[in-house]
Structure 1
Amino acid sequence: MQFDPYLETKKIKDVMNPSVLSLESTATASDAAKIMETCDAEAVIVVQNEKFVGIITDRDFTIKIGSHAYPIDTPISRLMSYPLISIDKNAEISNAVKLMTDNKIKRLPVISDKKLLGIIIMSDLTV
């Protein structure tokens, strides 16, 4: 995987996807699956007590629901990956690549001033 040199001088806010979903931690896997399918999304940010606490991805469904380890009515708080690793909108793209590489993740929510602004996906940063 090679970093796209065009993005070297860009900030996160320049390349993030502002279309990002969030659900309360009490929502079920079924709720998350429906909204992800309707919106053609690969991830949902999990909110608990007005804080962003985790992320549930299409891969989580494949592994945890698909293997029948959890029923479809399981709260997403039990399925999510946490703690949530996020990045500020003014950060450098290279910081996002390092965060994702170091933590072995493909999606990074963009959060500034306690607001969810978007998401950045590793495949958008590489050539």
Structure 2
Amino acid sequence: MKTVAQLLNAKGETNQQVHTIAPDQTVLAALGVMAEKNVGALPVVKDGKVIGIISERDYARKVALKGRSSADTPVSTIMSERIITVSPSESVEACMGIMTDSRLRHLPVVKDGQLVGLLSIGDLVKEAIAEQADLIQQLEQYIRGE
């Protein structure tokens, strides 16, 4: 199975870019970035370090349902602070386990304390499906004696 670094490299330069937000920016600003970049979560970064993550789920549960104003609420108020990160050398399989066990949809990738990528559950599922399809093809060729 591939490593996180291999998966990030395969995403292509455009899809590798990690969009972030500062903790003092408003939730409305975060929602604007998520909508513009078509992403479901943003790592919250302060002084180059990941200190949290804000997702559409955080907005729905901590702003919309609580009657808060997204224009007046800072990201730091609703971000998830319990962050699990992985290194680029981690396997895709291990990341799937982490995300499943922790019920996460996004997993920041950190190297030497710096954010280098963000994996979504969709990235990992897509890779798992591709690997299974490749294995099936190899087995079919073996059965046919090719």
Structure having the larger proportion of residues in strand: 1
Partner residue of 1:56?
54
Structure 2 residue matching 1:88: 3-state secondary structure: coil
Q: Is the 8 A contact 2:85 2:108 kept in 1?
A: yes
Identity %: 29
Specify which of 11, 14, 21 is matched with residue 6 of structure 2. Answer: 14
CA deviation after TM superposition for structure 1 residue 18, in Å: 1.6
CA deviation after TM superposition for structure 1 residue 98, in Å: 1.5
Q: How many residues align?
A: 119
Letter of the 1:107 counterpart? H
Structure 1 residue matching 2:31: 3-state secondary structure: helix
Q: Do structure 1's residue 46 and structure 2's residue 44 form an aligned pair? A: yes
Partner residue of 2:24?
26
Partner residue of 1:102?
101
Tell me which of the two structures has the higher relative contact order, counting C-alpha pairs closer than 8 angstroms and 6 or more residues apart.
1
Structure 1 residue matching 2:21: 3-state secondary structure: strand
What's the Cα RMSD here? 1.6
Which segments of 5 or more consecutive residues in structure 1 lack a partner in the other structure?
Answer: 1-8
Q: Between Structure 1 and Structure 2, whose CA radius of gyration is higher?
A: 2
Which segments of 5 or more consecutive residues in structure 2 lack a partner in the other structure?
Answer: 9-14, 130-146
TM-score, with structure 2 as normaliser:
0.74
Moved over 3 A (4+): none
CA deviation after TM superposition for structure 1 residue 47, in Å: 1.5
Letter of the 2:97 counterpart? K
